[in-house]
A and B are shown apart, each in its own frame.
Chain A
Amino acid sequence: VTDDPLERLRRLRGARDAEPSPDQSAPRASTPSMTDVLSLPDDLRALLSWLMRRGGATAADAAAQTDGDEATAQGLLDRLVAQGYVRRIDADGAPVYRARVGSRTGPRLPGELWKVLE
């Protein structure tokens, strides 16, 4: 326990980030899992799947893929960025968007079993 307000804030933030976000629009601390991808709305899931296959794309590329205008594609990309599924990379020219999906696999055996094996 600490009286330092900044330290308390950091602890609270750490605890909040460790919990699943109830609001899908809120940014997350960890990389989204593939199970999260499956629960996305159709339009976001379709764009994200395409982006994963392609590696990276601009908003104009995404618009061509979705048969929509660039503003609509940009809106979808912004939502994916806000939810942590996509990274925006600013370079020369138009920003490039890259998928950021796949959570860390956890230990596949309980700790007690490892102790027995050691």
Chain B
Amino acid sequence: MARTVSVHSFRGGTGKSNITANLAVTVARRGNRVGIVDTDIQSPGIHVLFGLDEEKMDRALNDYLWGDCAIQDTAYDVSPVIEAGAGAVAVMSGNVYLVPSSIRAGEIARVLREGYDVSLLNDGFHELIDRLDLDYLFIDTHPGLNEETLLSIAISDVLVLILRPDRQDFQGTAVTVDVARRLDVPRMLLVVNKALQSYDFAALRKQVEETYDATVAGVLPLSEDVAGLASSDLFTLRDPDHPWSRELRAIADQVMAQ
């Protein structure tokens, strides 16, 4: 049975899309069929990591939500893009399909102006899993808590919550953890991102685990190398031996654990 993995953070700028994309590709490279849906309709961005731009995208999640097409018609097989982008490093044994949100200003404005029927998202996720025969569906969410993110949290088999070592993130994450527990999410994994390299990572992990009584799947360092890539590629493919990439793979192991 397919597994739905929502990647969420209470605040923006935590590296959510970057981590989602790298996790999805790592899971796919282990022989799985993986889908990614960008539900951050107001501020989409994950498509950039897969080399998609406005000219290459003629369909998006928005078209499905407005009843113009089936959700599987909005999915792009980005596996060839990944292989071409990272050269010999990337050998894809699985597939990655991306459902992007539209980056056209008019369509983002239409969402803000007219809203959309959030219940269609749940139907669409299940339809996508069936039609593309997916093993994993990753959902890249909008930060914070609203109707759409609550739904994405509720339907998760695994919820990956990202936070930075920052007091504002700590408070917001507490709210999200509480909501996820009320919605009986089967597995919740915390990921600390952008930790200063001068920190004691083991102590930080212990502190976060004790604060939330939840598993910390990994602590990712604040890395100039990752930032330097500027979302132009997938870092785990570009530099698989980097400490950031190794920790990311450890997080993927826990996402995939039974």
Query: Which residues from chain A sit less than 8 Å from chain B, CB to CB?
Result: 31, 33-35, 37-38, 45-46, 49-50, 52-53, 55, 99-109, 114
The 10 closest A-B pairs by CB, nearest first: A102-B118, A34-B150, A102-B119, A105-B115, A55-B126, A108-B112, A49-B184, A52-B155, A104-B117, A31-B119
- Total A-B residue pairs with C-beta atoms closer than 8 Å? 79
Q: How near does chain B come to A58, taking the closest CB pair, in angstroms?
A: 16
Q: Which residues of A contact B115 (CB under 8 A)?
A: 104-108
Give chain B interface residues in 125-168, CB to chain A under 8 Å.
Answer: 126, 146-148, 150-151, 154-157
Instruction: Give the contact-size bracket for chain B.
Output: 20 to 34
Nearest-neighbor residue (CB-CB) of B157 within chain A: A53
Q: How near does chain B come to A61, taking the closest CB pair, in angstroms?
A: 12
Let me know if B114 and A107 touch, CB within 8 A. Answer: yes
Q: Which residues of B contact A105 (CB under 8 A)?
A: 111, 115-116, 118, 146-148
How many angstroms from the CA of A107 to the CA of B184 in the assembled complex?
A: 30
Q: Which residues of B contact A52 (CB under 8 A)?
A: 122, 151, 154-155
Q: Which residues of A contact B118 (CB under 8 A)?
A: 34, 102-105
Looking at A34, A103, A109, which has the most chain B CB atoms within 10 Å of its CB? A34
Q: How near does chain A come to B237, taking the closest CB pair, in angstroms?
A: 30
How many angstroms from the CA of A53 to the CA of B157 in the assembled complex?
A: 7
How many angstroms from the CA of A6 to the CA of B169 in the assembled complex?
A: 56
How many angstroms from the CA of A94 to the CA of B76 in the assembled complex?
A: 36
Q: Which residues of A contact B179 (CB under 8 A)?
A: 38
Q: How near does chain B come to A37, taking the closest CB pair, in angstroms?
A: 7
Let me know if A45 and B184 touch, CB within 8 A. Answer: yes
Let me know if A102 and B151 touch, CB within 8 A. Answer: yes
Let me know if A37 and B147 touch, CB within 8 A. Answer: no
How many angstroms from the CA of A58 to the CA of B111 in the assembled complex?
A: 35
Let me know if A31 and B117 touch, CB within 8 A. Answer: yes
Let me know if A34 and B151 touch, CB within 8 A. Answer: yes
Give chain B interface residues in 84-105, CB to chain A under 8 Å.
Answer: none
Let me know if B183 and A101 touch, CB within 8 A. Answer: no
Nearest-neighbor residue (CB-CB) of A106 within chain B: B115
Contact of A101 among B4, B122, B182 (CB under 8 A): B122
Q: How near does chain B come to A113, taking the closest CB pair, in angstroms?
A: 10
Between-chain CB contacts (< 8 Å), 21 pairs: A31-B117, A34-B154, A35-B147, A37-B150, A45-B183, A52-B122, A52-B154, A52-B155, A53-B154, A53-B155, A53-B157, A101-B119, A102-B120, A103-B119, A104-B115, A104-B116, A105-B118, A105-B146, A105-B148, A107-B115, A109-B112
How many angstroms from the CA of A114 to the CA of B114 in the assembled complex?
A: 11
Q: Which residues of B contact A114 (CB under 8 A)?
A: 113
How many angstroms from the CA of A101 to the CA of B90 in the assembled complex?
A: 40
Q: Which residues of A contact B147 (CB under 8 A)?
A: 33-35, 102-103, 105
How many angstroms from the CA of A17 to the CA of B156 in the assembled complex?
A: 31
Tell yes or no: B121 within 8 A of A by CB.
yes
How many angstroms from the CA of A22 to the CA of B5 in the assembled complex?
A: 36
How many angstroms from the CA of A31 to the CA of B182 in the assembled complex?
A: 20
Q: How near does chain B come to A96, taking the closest CB pair, in angstroms?
A: 12
Q: How near does chain A come to B115, taking the closest CB pair, in angstroms?
A: 4
How many angstroms from the CA of A49 to the CA of B154 in the assembled complex?
A: 6
Q: Which residues of B contact A101 (CB under 8 A)?
A: 119, 122, 151, 154
Let me know if B122 and A99 touch, CB within 8 A. Answer: yes
Let me know if A100 and B183 touch, CB within 8 A. Answer: no
15 extra interface residue pairs, beta carbon distance < 8 Å, beyond A37-B154, A45-B183, A105-B111: A33-B147, A34-B151, A34-B154, A37-B150, A45-B182, A52-B154, A53-B155, A53-B157, A102-B118, A102-B151, A105-B115, A105-B118, A105-B148, A107-B113, A114-B113
